[in-house]
Structure 1
Amino acid sequence: MAPSSTSLSVYIEHRDDLLNYANKFLGDRAVAEDVVQEAWLRLSSRDAKGQEIGHPLSYLYSIVRNLALDWAKRRVREVPQSPESATWQVLPASTPTAEDVVLQRDEFRALLDAIQELPERTQLAFRMYKLEERPLQEVADRLKLSVPRTHQIVAEALVHAMQRLLGDEDR
């Protein structure tokens, strides 16, 4: 089941306001973008499961606030330390095991397979924005689309990939 057109239109219409709201907590527009996108994914996930949300805009603002506050709290707790500090000296190397590498490759392949099921324009938008980490404006310019429409198709690709990956785990 795909996200409802009502919740999608609410998200698209209020995306900039949600970004500004998240940015007030975070002071970092890029992180605010991630927070708002995560809020959309949570809303669309509930939609996809058929869980009706009476006030999607209020729900989005609530998710954005909670995610932004959580992120801000983590940032305060995570005070950087010098690599020469005693804490760094006792930590094991963060080299992934061979099993971790294989698992990550399999998950990445499954993600790419899910994305390849989508229209070419959606694949390109996803690849440029998520994999190549290009700015949304650049992706929109390349596709000759508005930024909100570009964000929408990237979000649709993410929802499709999540549904596909979660669906595969249920088998």
Structure 2
Amino acid sequence: MSWDIPTLFRRHAKEIARSLRRRGLSAETAADITQDTFVRVLASPPKESAGVHNPAAYLFRISRNLRIDHQRRERLLVRVDLSDTEFAEIADHSPTAETIVYDRQRLALTRAALAELPERTRRAFELHRLGELTIAETAQAIGLSTTRTWILLRDAYEHIDARLNGL
């Protein structure tokens, strides 16, 4: 016997979903189980020796078994109604492992790029960026004009950016 799945789906999918809805499932769950029924048949059709002479009955039996499995799983789940704020508190805001590795790589590249800078440019960058000094305060600390200090900082940022974009 040949199983023409598209034809069987057109003929029986609505009936299977309707039958699942009558047994208390939501429309979405019934649609999911209906699709799972046909996926199950696609993945492993009945053997010729199984003697399946009524494909519709076979499909309904599979959907019934899937419904029972679904309802068993649902009984095991504990449902809790949470407000939006309670739900937001559950979220884990810690970075993923991939983010940690990526950030560490970028930090290592930044350190290497800083080490490549001339001493005065690196000192200006560190005072401005890490020491949180303004450009005028940085200029005064290293004994340069504000314009020259700004050029050093721009060069430092461009150099670091060029190294990081190579990642």
Higher relative contact order (CA 8 A, sep 6+): 1
Flag the structure with larger Rg: 2
Fold shared by both chains (TM-score > 0.5): no
TM-score with structure 2 length normalisation? 0.44
TM-score with structure 1 length normalisation? 0.43
